[in-house]
Amino acid sequence: MLKEDKDYFELATKVSTYMAEQYLKNEAQNAWERTITMALGVGSAMGFSNDRIVRDVQTAGEMMLDAQSYATVLADDEGFMNILVDDLKLGLHYIDFESFLPVALTAWKELVEEMARDML
């Protein structure tokens, strides 16, 4: 690989990854608490044990924050894709999901546990 190609790939990866990470942070700030509240409430109303509710909501987070699933979320967002592909001429294949999804999953699980302590 030529140095210019390597430099381009590294920059494209940094920019694409940063965009995806910021998208996730925005989602976490604007939707996670509401989503978790609803899931905990439904589980409780259905009579599931607190441990099962927490485990199921954490598992839902694992499924949501899987690299392939999250790539689909991003691909389905027309605004995100317009900027990434049309404006920046980049693609989802540049995103380094493993650099931020594990941290996000840990944050999801901790938030579920914290909210479950307060709600259940």
pLDDT tens sequence across 49-101: 999 999 999 999 999 999 999 999 999 999 999 999 999 999 999 999 999 99
Counts for the chain of helices (H) and strands (E), in that order: 6, 0
Query: Per-residue pLDDT tens for 28-56?
Result: 999 999 999 999 999 999 999 999 999 99
The answer to whether residue 73 is domain-embedded is yes
The answer to whether residue 30 is domain-embedded is no
CA angle, 47 then 117 then 27, to 5°: 95
Q: Which pLDDT score is estimated for 2?
A: 67
Give the whole-angstrom CA distance, residue 64 versus residue 3. Answer: 36
The answer to whether residue 24 is domain-embedded is no
Q: Which pLDDT score is estimated for 12?
A: 96
Q: What is the pTM of this model?
A: 0.88
Give the whole-angstrom CA distance, residue 85 versus residue 30. Answer: 25
What is the Rg, in whole angstroms, of the alpha carbon atoms belonging to the chain? 17
Categorize the per-residue pLDDT at 15 as very low, low, confident or very high, splitting at 50, 70 and 90: very high
Q: Which pLDDT score is estimated for 3?
A: 72
Domain count across the chain: 1
**Cβ atoms within 10 A of the Cβ of 69, count?**
12
Give the whole-angstrom CA distance, residue 12 versus residue 6. Answer: 10
16-36 mean pLDDT: 97
Has residue 1 got a pLDDT over 70? no
Q: Which pLDDT score is estimated for 4?
A: 78
The answer to whether residue 85 is domain-embedded is yes
Closest CA to 102 of 75, 66, 57, 70: 66
Tell me which residue range forms the domain holding 108. 3-19+53-119
Categorize the per-residue pLDDT at 5 as very low, low, confident or very high, splitting at 50, 70 and 90: confident
